[in-house]
Amino acid sequence: MALRIIVKDPDPVLREVANPVSKITPNIHKLLTDMADTMYDADGVGLAAPQIGISKRVIVVDVGDEHGLVEMINPEIVEKEGEQVGAEGCLSIPNLNGEVKRAFKVRVKALDREGNPFELVGEELMARALQHEIDHLNGILFTDLATNLYDPNARRRNEGPRR
Ligand code: NI
């Protein structure tokens, strides 16, 4: 298990358009494995390679649904449907949440770790995570899209006792 350091906003690598992977190498396998380890260690549901300082089009997602760990190389959204609004955060932007409008359902095509093309259809949280991570590959952060940014910890304090 190898953990990588998660870079934080405003690191410029988070604003780059990441490069497509042209060849699957042992380095890409190690990158995918390290990204999953780093995501789980940080209690995240997704991680994009730029978030560990690597400007390549690689993401991992695990929202705890039936898909389990999803590894994607050169992912591309080919279909979007519907709409959802919900809270998001980002491992590169600690202590900040915000409401973001996303498609409810997306179809994404990508390469798996062997370089084989596949498609995945995700809804709700899975769709949200995929859109968030693929945005990272284009230098877009959720704070660019969010309304009412807030510190989730401060908000919890202000909410008072639950009734
Ligand atoms: Ni993020």
Q: pLDDT tier at 158 (50, 70, 90 boundaries)? A: low
Distance 88 CA to ligand 1 centre (A): 9
Q: What predicted TM-score, i.e. pTM, was given to this entire model?
A: 0.94
Q: Ligand 1: distance of its center to the CA of 92 in Å?
A: 6
Work out the pLDDT band at 104, boundaries 50, 70, 90.
very high
The residues facing 109 across adjacent strands are 76, 119
Pick the catalytic residue from 71, 79, 133, 159.
Answer: 133
* Residue 133 a catalytic site member: yes
CATH architecture of 12-159: Alpha-Beta Complex (3.90)
Reported as a single tens digit per residue, the pLDDT across 42-96 is 999 999 999 999 999 999 999 999 999 999 999 999 999 999 999 999 999 999 9
| Domain spans, the chain | 12-159
Helix or strand (DSSP H, E) at 109: strand 105-111
